[in-house]
Structure 1
Amino acid sequence: MRVGRGAAAAALAAVVLTATACGAPSPSGGGDRASAAPDQGGRPAPDPDGRPLALVYRGPAACDGCPEAAHDMLEHDGFAVRYIGPKEQDHWGPDALSGVALYVQPGGTNGQEVTTAWRGLQREPGFSPELVRAYVRGGGHYLGLCMGGYLAGRNPGYGLLPGDSGQYISSDGATVTDEEDHLVDVSWRGQPQRMYFQDGPYFDVHGPDADVLARYTNDRAAAVVASYGAGRVAVSGPHPEAPSEWYRDYDLPDESQTGLGLGEDLLHTLMGTSDSPTAATPSTVPPASAAAAPTS
């Protein structure tokens, strides 16, 4: 669970839940709640500039600031970005993902476990897990960040991975073993990096269609791109989208620019545009800083 410092006392009185998955300290911008209305068929309206459309979930199963951070990373990479959720102009329904290039399940609800977030999603009018599965199976793209990575797995989740997700802090040899906010060490395409992390998942995946981009130091997969039907799925346990404010709020060395480069690599690999000159590669992603990460 991640809370602002002013809420720390209240948090101590809260019930402790396992795998609380990826809250954020505060909203980080990324536009207000107004978005372009769907067309008359219930489909998201096309972007007038011809940019690919990314639809980011924003609702009870996402934490404050997590959809907005994903929005900013995606917009930086050339997507038109809109939100879908109970208080958005885009709502769940049979045509909700029609014409969408990318669906994003961002970091999860503050203080709630994965099962609670999943139940919250299932209570939303018009939502069905099969909407997302059918969208990806038919050639769509799914990006799961932290909680969205957990939910790409099974029981509970969409079941999009060739394997499953698990709680990193409970895994053997984990360098972070609590639910606080930290930098976590990973090897991204063989290069050491440090990324913003709060109780994110690892991924137990297998098969020729699973591309492990990053591993934690205990060799568990930290970022993966895999096939699902005719579509593709990308997941990350750490937060490549984390803005500078998240680091500052928890007195962490600011690796936000490194994270942005890794996020671009993840996105370009997912979308099949890794040969783009703007795609991050091991030679263009800056190495981790020498500052020690406050891990436990």
Structure 2
Amino acid sequence: MRALVYRGRAARPAGCAEAVGALLERHGLEVRFVGRRGLTPAALAGADVYAQPGGGTLAPAWRHLRGRRSAIRDYVAGGGRYLGFCLGGYLAGATPGFALFPGDTDRYAGSPGAATADTGDLVLPVSWRGRRRPVFFQDGPLFLLDPGADTRPGVEILARYPEGGVAALACPSGAGRVAVAGPHPEAGPDWFADAGLPVPDPLPTDLGHDLIDEVLA
């Protein structure tokens, strides 16, 4: 299977796209990186999954990628798969974004009842399929589903933040499928060490593989 991973101005600092690519390769997918100009309907048509990694903030990323909204929406609607991490999760929302799931996103840090108001690097515990797991977090999104959307066929709430907000989900989108995470389950030990944070044991990369399994389901 083939994965197309965005790598460009909306995936900075360096290392965000590479971490997602490495995770996908360990999952057994053939990975190709593409920038905005290469993100065409033809390129997407040749991919089993398109991955949007983390990066900077939503507003500049959207200015950079909004011209690719139709191509990405058409790809997913026609049976493609979208995998989003942190900023890639924000971009899956609607205001602004690709509008790929029934709902929208908001900043988790500082939201009502949130476990943190810190938008910097930290280790945040989430409940992933009912198990408490520490993950790397940096100003990731909270996923706000439309009323009743969580009961629709094929919608899976994979993880929740400490107060119960949705931290990761997978769902159908047209004839395709979307899987997104607010935290960074793709983060390697260097992410934690570089930020001066304790490295979880075990690393939460198995959660990243679970996210990939869901988008490929």
Identify the TM-score tier after normalising by the shorter chain: over 0.9
Instruction: Name the TM-score, length of structure 2 as normaliser.
Output: 0.93
CA positional deviation for 1:94 = 3.1
Amino acid at match of 2:49: L
Match of 1:118 among 62, 70, 73: 62
Residue 106 (structure 1) aligned with residue 50 (structure 2)? no
Aligned counterparts of 2:58 and 2:39: Cα–Cα separation in 1: 20
Q: Which residue of 2 aligns with 1:139?
A: 79
Match of 2:5 among 56, 61, 74: 56
Cα distance, 1:257–1:85 mapped onto 2, change above 3 Å: farther
Aligned counterparts of 2:41 and 2:52: Cα–Cα separation in 1: 18
Correspondence 1:21-170 to 2 at 5 A: 52-63=1-12, 64-86=14-36, 91-109=38-56, 113-122=57-66, 127-170=67-110
More helix as a share of residues:
2
- 1:196/1:255 contact within 8 Å kept: no
2:159 counterpart SS class: strand
Amino acid at match of 1:66: C
Match of 1:186 among 126, 134, 142: 126
Match of 1:177 among 114, 117, 127: 117
Aligned counterparts of 2:17 and 2:30: Cα–Cα separation in 1: 14
Q: After the TM superposition, which of the residue ranges 148-157 and 171-180 deviates more from structure 2?
A: 171-180
Aligned counterparts of 2:210 and 2:201: Cα–Cα separation in 1: 14
CA deviation digits over 1:208-252, x for unaligned, max 9?
A: 142100000111000100110110000000000011111001121
- 2:6/2:34 contact within 8 Å kept: yes
Gaps of 5+ in 1: 1-51, 273-296
Aligned counterparts of 1:142 and 1:84: Cα–Cα separation in 2: 14
Aligned counterparts of 1:78 and 1:268: Cα–Cα separation in 2: 11
CA positional deviation for 1:256 = 7.4
Match of 2:180 among 213, 227, 235: 235
Q: Which residue of 1 aligns with 2:166?
A: 221
Greater relative contact order (Cα < 8 A, sep 6+): 2
Amino acid at match of 2:161: Y
CA deviation digits over 1:57-108, x for unaligned, max 9?
A: 001111111000001111000010010105xxx8122312112000011002
RMSD, aligned CA = 1.4
Aligned counterparts of 1:227 and 1:161: Cα–Cα separation in 2: 8
1:223 counterpart SS class: strand
Flag as ranges the 4+ runs of structure 1 deviating above 2 A. Answer: 255-258
Cα distance, 1:256–1:71 mapped onto 2, change above 3 Å: farther
Aligned counterparts of 2:201 and 2:181: Cα–Cα separation in 1: 15
Q: Which residue of 1 aligns with 2:212?
A: 267
Amino acid at match of 2:43: A
CA positional deviation for 1:161 = 1.0
- 2:58/2:90 contact within 8 Å kept: yes
CA deviation digits over 1:104-143, x for unaligned, max 9?
A: 110022xxx3111100123xxxx52111111111111000
CA positional deviation for 1:171 = 1.2
1:139 counterpart SS class: coil
Q: Which residue of 2 aligns with 1:199?
A: 139
What percentage of aligned pairs have identical amino acids?
Answer: 46
Aligned counterparts of 1:256 and 1:263: Cα–Cα separation in 2: 15
CA positional deviation for 1:257 = 4.5
- 1:194/1:255 contact within 8 Å kept: yes
2:120 counterpart SS class: coil
- 2:91/2:98 contact within 8 Å kept: yes
CA deviation digits over 1:259-281, x for unaligned, max 9?
A: 21111111112111xxxxxxxxx
Gaps of 5+ in 2: none
- 2:90/2:97 contact within 8 Å kept: yes
More strand as a share of residues:
2
Aligned counterparts of 1:118 and 1:189: Cα–Cα separation in 2: 31
